[in-house]
Chain A
Amino acid sequence: MPVPMTMERKQAAYTNLRLAAFAICRIRGTPSRGRSTKGQQYSHIYFTRLHHMRNLLHALVPSWKPQVPVTTVLGLEEGKDCIIVGTLYKHMKLKPSILDEYSKERSAIPLVKPHNFMHPDDHLILEDESGRVTLAGAIAPAEYVTGVVLALRGKETSAGNFLVEDVLEAGLPHQTSLSAADEDKYVVFVSGLSVGSATFNPLQFQFLIDHITGHLGDENEQSIASKIARVVVAGNSVHISPRFLNGQMVASKDQSRIAEPIKELDIMLTQLVASLPVDIMPGCHDPANFSLPQQTIDDLYKYSDAKDRLEFMERTLRWRHLAPTAPNSLGCYPYTDKDPFLIDSCPHVYFVGNQDKYETRLFEGPEKQKVRLICIPRFSDSGVAVMLNLRNLECSTLSFSTSFDA
């Protein structure tokens, strides 16, 4: 009888680099005044964002358009060729306004919203501390969103607009080179498990776990699985029925059912974590603090246009900002001393979870930066998880099906 081969799982060094960047260091409270939190406004985020990005853009301007003067919006002179730097605001006709909720009757069914709020009449406005000016010319509103900081070259027209001739984005930041690895090591990404939802298939998830932990397949499959060093669960792991979450009283017989999906997820993840390290990230439907902006790429899809989701991701890298539409159409904490979503060094892997389908591209920057862009599909819909090779940043899929008529 052949002796079964023992295989050891590969291990990879891991450091969480950005945890401190998002920490809320000071939540101001003055109990003597009877308030628990200070009412910070969002102007601080925009101020720090503009300041940081403007420094970057000013450094790039001399090599982009030498000899052209840089001026503030208030300092624009009609007909004079110059460069202005500021934050974009996109005026959108169809963008829902909070005031609409007061004008219409409140109904129990949510009002049907258009999937995408774009309209041919949308126009862009550039704003800095001194003022704002409407933009026209070589800048397409469909490609941009509110919150992006740019440098624009052009001149003021007699109508009081700024006619844009050329646009400068900050571009990809510097990337530290990937240390050469001599062996294949994989990270598995999965998202949209949706444990507790109608579309959740426990057998499909169990297959994934069994494959990763080496309980499935022959020696070939097991040796591949032994090279998986880590699993990243990218959001929406749990689905809790909305009727428990709308603020109404939950009957006692239902109370135990609220936690069922979390308990089930716990049992499944226990099997995984016994075998290898797992990172779990909260998604927009997960019961976690409303801390980081969720659905940043989906929000870009609502307010602008691109050929695919990966192109939105490329734009966020060129704009050097993870969530440009925050806080305009995406919620976030009103930071006062920094904008933590600015991208200061180019990532090697950039992924988005809970997408409709799997997509990937290796995006190359002007200074030989290489970024693996990944759209991870919802596992409960597709049965697809993504496998990334850390040695060469190649991407493949793990696909699980439980039906026989595939």
Chain B
Amino acid sequence: MASSGVKDFYRQKKKGGMTKASPSSKKKTQQYTGGASVRATDTAQTSALISHGSWDLKDDFGDHEEQLRQFDMDLKFGPCIGVTRLQRWERASAMGLQPPAHLRDLLLGAPSTKNHSSSGPSPECLWEGKV
């Protein structure tokens, strides 16, 4: 997996310099999807973020998604691939691992998986569709 492509996951907190970032980000996008299983929606997602102009859209979304990704990566709650985040949360709760309660509220407010580019954290784990 091209590690440079991981930077596309996390928002680059830049002030301006958008046009400079676009071509190189697009190049990174190409490298990234080349390594993983190719899905048209993912390419559209990352270029949509750039093409809409500003990085600073919807601060909340970025934070929420970031928290959920940390939840995905936390070893204590077990493997994250192959289950939705909500299922993993429910499982962790049933096992007495005390996952943070506010994450469940986030996940219940999440829209359907078809709607990537606008607000709302994804109900699937961060590796979904990429491994």
Contacts and interface: CB of A to CB of B under 8 A. Distances in A.
Contact of B82 (A32, A33, A44, A52): A44
A47 interface: yes
A337 B82 contact: no
B95 interface: yes
A128 to B, nearest CB: 10
B79 interface: yes
A298 interface: no
Interface-central residue, A40, A47, A52, A337, by most chain B CB under 10 Å: A337
A43 B87 contact: no
Nearest to A334: B82
Contact of B79 (A26, A39, A44): A44
A41 B78 CA distance: 12
A40 B129 CA distance: 13
A30 B81 CA distance: 15
Nearest to A30: B113
Given A26-B87, A30-B113, A32-B114, A337 B94 contact: yes
Interface residues of A, number: 19
B101 interface: no
B90 interface: yes
A310 to B, nearest CB: 34
Contact of B87 (A39, A48, A336): A336
Nearest to A28: B84
Nearest to B39: A33
B82 A336 contact: yes
B75 interface: yes
Interface-central residue, A33, A39, A40, A44, by most chain B CB under 10 Å: A44
Given A30-B113, A32-B114, A40 B82 contact: yes
Nearest to A43: B79
Interface string A23-42: 00010101011000011110
Nearest to A32: B114
A360 B82 CA distance: 42
Nearest to A129: B75
A157 B113 CA distance: 51
Nearest to A47: B78
Interface in A32-84: 32-33, 38-41, 43-44, 47-48, 51-52
Contact of B78 (A28, A38, A44): A44
A27 to B, nearest CB: 12
Contacts, number: 40
Interface in A118-166: 129
A136 to B, nearest CB: 27
A334 B83 CA distance: 11
Contacts of B94: 337
A336 B94 CA distance: 12
A47 B79 contact: yes
A38 B97 CA distance: 25
B75 A38 contact: no
B91 interface: yes
A23 to B, nearest CB: 15
Contacts of B91: 48, 336-337
A337 B79 contact: no
A129 B82 CA distance: 18
A43 B127 CA distance: 15
A44 B87 CA distance: 12
A33 B78 CA distance: 25
A385 to B, nearest CB: 42
Nearest to B84: A28
Nearest to A336: B83
A40 B83 contact: yes
A47 B94 CA distance: 14
Contacts of B81: 41, 43
Nearest to A33: B129
Interface string B40-81: 000000000000000000000000000000000001001101
25 contacts: A26-B87, A28-B83, A28-B84, A30-B113, A32-B113, A32-B114, A41-B79, A41-B81, A41-B82, A43-B78, A43-B81, A44-B78, A44-B79, A44-B82, A44-B83, A47-B79, A48-B91, A51-B78, A52-B95, A129-B75, A336-B82, A336-B83, A337-B83, A337-B87, A337-B94
Interface of A: 26, 28, 30, 32-33, 38-41, 43-44, 47-48, 51-52, 129, 334, 336-337
Nearest first, the 8 closest Cβ-Cβ pairs linking A and B are A40-B82, A47-B78, A43-B79, A337-B91, A336-B83, A41-B82, A129-B75, A51-B95
